[in-house]
Copies of this chain bind each other. A is one copy, B any other.
Amino acid sequence: MSARQIEVRDALGLAESALVASGASRESAASTASALVSAEIDGQAAHGLSRVASYSLLVKSGKVNGTARPVAKRVAPAVIRINAGNGFAYPAIDLAIGHLAPLAREMGIAAAGIHDSGHFGQAGRHVERLAETGLVAMAFANTPRAMAFHGGRRAMMGTNPIAFAAPLADRAPLVIDLALSVAARGKIIAARKAGKAIPAGWAVDAHGAPTTDPAAALQGALLPIGDAKGGALALMIEILSAALVGGAFGWEASSFFDAEGGPPRVGQLLLAFFPAAFSGPAWPLRMQDLAIAIAGEAPARLPGDRRLAARARAAASGIEIPDALYAELRALAGSVAA
């Protein structure tokens, strides 16, 4: 597969133009392109430029409202409710971050619940942006159904990512970003395309029996980490990001990928903590103690180190993307000037 290096600004321009060409507003396209390129820079290709084509399709079909403007309302002193209007999630996330940064400083803790939303991509980046302002942050989101309730057989809950970030002195924030399935659905789709078996322990078939056949797995359900424990955490995230904020549950949500059905209407919950309110001047020192403790346990390292290395490479020499993806972006961007 031949590949090429492109500059970050060119990637942004192509992604934004492609989305605008599909009917998105300049504002929504810019926010979305920024999130996709950030993911690409960080080595999270599954949430990166490969999404532009399907995102464009979603706008063209009307499943995602490309001109939606998210609306924020302060529903309680420390809570913001955001209606993403069935547009892309990213403008709503931007709005949430803009509100949470000052509100968490004022209140000590603040929450933003986003409903009628969609795929929110690289969750770690959203919380990292809050951590870059000195806050500790968490994000929860549900996704279309992929995992069974513990004891059940059919896919009902999403893979339900959880992300966490905390600032560190003299370096980028510590970022944790994971989904509760053992393996990402994308890896199973890739195995099916490649005609390869998947490892045992990733999924069950439609009858609930363990399978290593990716096609059977995609008809069945992904397995959560830690059996009942991961299943319980996924359920917690359904409650936080669907029931609590007013989003659709995993079993109600349509696909993030194709143009079938109505909008996914999933939800997201962001929390921001102002650490100085919780523990005063001790906080940065304690995070330093933590970094030292981890360094002392090498080869253990701070989570996110691989992401930072990818980011440094992109800053130095741009992003490497497959030629086919580049051609796809060029074709989608078409006549729209970036």
Which residues in A have some Cβ–Cβ distance to B below 8 Å?
A: 75-79, 81, 106-111, 113, 115, 136, 148-154, 156, 162, 164, 166, 174, 176, 178, 180, 182, 225-227, 229-230, 232-233, 235-236, 238-240, 242-246, 249, 251, 271, 273-275, 277-280, 282-283, 286-287, 289-290, 293-294, 297-301, 303
Contacts and interface: CB of A to CB of B under 8 A. Distances in A.
Nearest to A115: B279
A152 B299 contact: yes
A108 B111 contact: yes
A279 B246 contact: yes
Does more than half of chain A's interface fall in helix, strand or loop, or is it mixed?
mixed
A230 B238 contact: no
B238 A81 contact: no
A227 B303 CA distance: 13
Contacts of A271: 109, 271
A273 B233 contact: no
A176 B236 contact: yes
Contacts of A136: 239-240, 244
A246 B244 CA distance: 29
A77 B232 CA distance: 31
A107 B78 contact: yes
A225 B229 contact: yes
Nearest to A107: B78
